Amino acid sequence: MQDALSTLLKPSVLAAGQKVALLRAAVEACPVNISISDLRRPDHPLIYVNPAFSKTTGYTAEQAVGRNCRFLQGPDTDPAVVRTLREAIAERRPVSVELVNYRCDGTRFLNLVELAPVRDLAAGVDAYIGIQHDVTAARQAESTRREREKLEALGRLAGGLSHELNNLLQPIVSYADLLGSRLRSSDTETAEQLAAILECAQAAGNIARSVLNFSRRAAADAAAAPARERIGDAIRFARRLLPTTITLTIEEADDPDAHCAVDGTELIQVVGNLFKNAADAMGGNGEIRVRAVRCGNELVLTIADDGPGMAPEIAARAFEPFFTTKPAGRGTGLGLSAVWGLVQGWGGRISLQTSPGNGARFVIELPLVAAPALDCKEETRGTDDGFDPAY
C-alpha cells in the first residue's frame, strides 16, 4: 500500500496542488480523530481538527481551533497522565496515553491519545499531530470480561469452600446437640452457650450456601417480612463479630410497617461483612453507626464508620472481586464483592461514600414490598417501637 501511495503522489501522477487536496480529503474522511496543534504559538493551540474529532467530542472546528486541547479535560482527568503528555511535548517526542476526557455536553469518555511531533524548520513547521480513539466501549467490554472470569473463579472457589465448610460444621452441630441432651436442666448458662454455638454453626452453613448461590447468580426465594425485624436480627448476630472496643450506635427505623423481601441469612452476611470491614479499618477502636429509614418505595440502610476513609482510586475498586488492600493472608477480597452480589440479587443497590480522613459510609437501597396478608384466624401481634436496645 505504501508503494501504491508513493506512486500516486509522484509529480508525474499528481501535481503539488492535487497532492495537498488528496491528503486533505483523506484526513477529512478518516474515521479516526485527528488534530494538529501549533508549537510555535503560545499555549500550543489547535490549528486543525477533522470531522471525526468533532463527531466524538461534540465540539465544532470553530469551537476547538485556537484553544489548547486541555478544554477536553475535567474533574476525573488524571493529572499524572497530563504531566506525561506535557513532558513528552516539551521534549519533542512521541507519546501514547489513555485519559478521561469530556465531550461538549459534559459526558465523559476514555480517550486513547497518540501524539507525534511534526517538525520541518526549513518550512517553518513545528507542530504535534494527535490521533485519538474513543476506547470507552472497548475498555468496558474488557472490564466485563475480567469480572466474568473473576466470578467464574469465585464460583469454583465457593463450591469447594461450601463443601469443606459444611464438612467441618457437621460435627460441630452434632456434638453441640449431643452435649445439650446431656445437660442438667439447671445448667442454663451452658445451655445458652451451646445454643449460641448451634446458631452460629447453622448460620455459617447458610452463609456458605449463600456464597454458592451468589456465585451461581441464584436468587434467594425470600418471603416478605418487616424490615425492622430482619435488620434487627442481622445486627444482633453481626455485632458478635465486633470487638468490645467498637461502639455500635443504632438509629431506629421510622416506619414499622415497611416490608422487604430479603433473605435473613444473606442480610446477616451483608451486615456482618460491613461491620467487620469497618472494625478492621478503624483498627478495632471507633464507632459504627447504623440507620434505616424509608425513602419513597425504598428502604435505605446506612452503615457508617469513623475510620480513615479511602482514596478515590481505592473506593472505585472496593466491590471488585479479589481486590483487597489488606496484607497477604489477612484478606481475600471477596467480602464486599459478595455483599454487592447479594444486594443486587435482592433487586437493590449499594454505594460507597468515602474520602481520606472522613470514614466510609455504605448505603444500601432496598425495594419495599407489600406486607403479606394475615390469616383472619391468626392472632395479630404488636410491633415493637424499634431495634431491640439489647442489640
CATH architecture of 12-134: 2-Layer Sandwich (3.30)
Residue 157 has pLDDT above 80, yes or no: no
Supply 235's cell numbers. Answer: 445486627
Q: Among 89-103, 115-129, 305-319, which range has the highest average pLDDT?
A: 89-103
Q: What are the residues whose beta carbons fall under 8 Å from the beta carbon of 380, sequence distance 6 or more?
A: 374
* Spatial contact of 67 and 45, defined as CB atoms under 8 Å apart: yes
> Does domain 221-371+382-391 sit in CATH 3.40.605.10?
no
Q: Do 32 and 129 contact (CB within 8 A), yes or no?
A: no
pLDDT at residue 14 is higher than 80: no
Please report the pLDDT score of residue 48 as a whole number. 93
Fill in the DSSP letter of residue 323: -
pTM above 0.75, yes or no: no
In angstroms, the CA 365 to CA 328 distance is 32
pLDDT band at 73 (very low <50, low <70, confident <90, very high): very high
CA angle centred on 228, ends 226 and 229, rounded to 5°: 65
Span 279-311, pLDDT tens digits: 988 988 999 999 998 888 899 999 999 999 998
State the Cα angle at 53 between 49 and 54, rounded to 5°: 95
Q: What is the pLDDT of residues 216-257, one digit of tens each?
A: 554 445 678 888 888 888 998 888 888 889 999 987 655 667
Give me the residue spans of the domains in the chain: 12-134, 137-218, 221-371+382-391
